Amino acid sequence: MKKLFLFLILFVIIAGWNYAGSSPPMYASDPSKVTTAQTITVDSETAHVIEKADGTDVLIVDTTNSRIGINGTPEKGLHILSGDMLLDNAQKINWKNAAGTSNTIIQYGSGDALVFGDGVTSASAMTLDTGNLLLGTSTFGTNAKQVFIIETDTAPTTNPANLIQMWSADYAAGDARLYIMGEGSTDKVIIGRGDIEAANHITGTTAYFSTHISSTQLKITEGTNAYMGTVTLVAGSGSVTTTAVASDSRIYMTVQTGGGTVGSPYIVQRTAGVGFHVSSTSATDTSDVAWIIISP
């Protein structure tokens, strides 16, 4: 009996020596028994694994590749292999840029709108709200649904290959319009206030124009380098300056307001990209002559 007692004492001493300095064991059945921080100091793709009773992986810590996997083996830093991710209380998703500055990328806006940051300053770049897609703004018209809204900002100055560009810009103060630029030219199509304005020309089939324009007015902007205007004859002649005229342009004229001895106006000379000269069959014609340029 004395020998057995001495053996038990020796066993307890050896066991205590081997355990000294190590962290207390983790109790899977009762986590409350773990009262100190646990440190895993091993390089392994399965350094720490939490499983269900059936052996299905719930959490895997890969210390070799610095990865954490949820519901499976991770392939990236944080890898959720199944199940949805939930952020409660309208929490944001922030990313750091190359300079190390944290910016908001995704967040809830007012009225549960989903707001995407610009990745640089956390400013709103795009918003999804009530089915509307908004660029650079959170404002849209009354009752708008499934509408695309663009806020006025900086317009492009170049036309890269294989794309078109659309933006909002002020045509005049208080008159924001839609601008469209294609690949082949920096010339723009401008749409707004019921008007469509093109830098060069608008093409279409005869059937289209007879169906869509016959019931309304065809408006052409006049002014500097325009395709339409008027010229007042002096002693039966007058000049028009416009870069719109081409060598093959068709120039149509009619007397708008008669003056002097009214004659018939006709083209005497034209210079492509510069303008054209008008004369009348009457040397004393002082009429206002309307003209329009159409190029084939």
Mean pLDDT of the chain: 83
Based on the domain organization, do 235 and 187 belong to the same domain?
no
Give the H/E segment covering residue 229.
strand 228-232
Specify if 219 maps to a domain.
no
Q: Once rounded to an integer, what is the mean pLDDT over residues 251-267?
A: 96
Distance CA 294, CA 267 (A): 14
Q: For the beta carbon of residue 155, count every other beta carbon within 10 angstroms.
A: 13
Residue type, 221: T
Specify if 122 maps to a domain.
yes
Based on the domain organization, do 9 and 76 belong to the same domain?
yes
Based on the domain organization, do 187 and 235 belong to the same domain?
no
Based on the domain organization, do 8 and 70 belong to the same domain?
yes
Q: How many structural domains does the chain have? A: 4
Distance CA 165, CA 182 (A): 7
Q: Once rounded to an integer, what is the mean pLDDT over residues 87-109?
A: 87
Distance CA 124, CA 151 (A): 11
Distance CA 280, CA 233 (A): 8
Distance CA 72, CA 65 (A): 15
For residue 58, the model assigns a pLDDT of 92
- Does the pLDDT at position 29 exceed 90? no
Strand-by-strand arrangement of the 67-70 sheet: 48-51, 57-62, 67-70, 78-80
For residue 279, the model assigns a pLDDT of 97
Q: For the beta carbon of residue 21, count every other beta carbon within 10 angstroms.
A: 6
Handedness of CA 55, 58, 60, 61 (dihedral sign): negative
For a pLDDT cut of 70, what percent of the chain falls above it? 81
> Residue 100: CB partners within 8 Å, gap ≥ 6?
none
Specify if 136 maps to a domain.
yes
Least confident range of 2-11, 88-97, 112-121, 157-166: 2-11
Based on the domain organization, do 137 and 190 belong to the same domain?
no
Specify if 220 maps to a domain.
no
Based on the domain organization, do 11 and 73 belong to the same domain?
yes
Identify the domain boundary among 179, 212, 245: 212
Describe the chain by its helix, strand, coil percentages, rounded to 5.
Answer: 10, 35, 50
CA distances from 42 to 36, 39, 45, 75 (A): 19, 9, 10, 19
Domain ranges, residue 197: 165-212
Specify if 90 maps to a domain.
no
Specify if 178 maps to a domain.
yes
Specify if 152 maps to a domain.
no
136-192 per-position pLDDT tens digit: 888 899 999 999 999 999 999 999 999 999 999 999 899 999 999 999 888 888 888
For residue 36, the model assigns a pLDDT of 74
Distance CA 125, CA 195 (A): 29
Q: Residue length, the chain?
A: 296
- Does the pLDDT at position 212 exceed 70? no
30-51 per-position pLDDT tens digit: 555 656 777 778 888 888 899 9
CA distances from 117 to 101, 122, 132, 140, 212 (A): 13, 5, 17, 18, 42
Based on the domain organization, do 37 and 67 belong to the same domain?
yes
Specify if 273 maps to a domain.
yes
- Does the pLDDT at position 10 exceed 50? no
For residue 18, the model assigns a pLDDT of 43
CB 65 within 8 A of CB 73: no
CB 201 within 8 A of CB 189: no
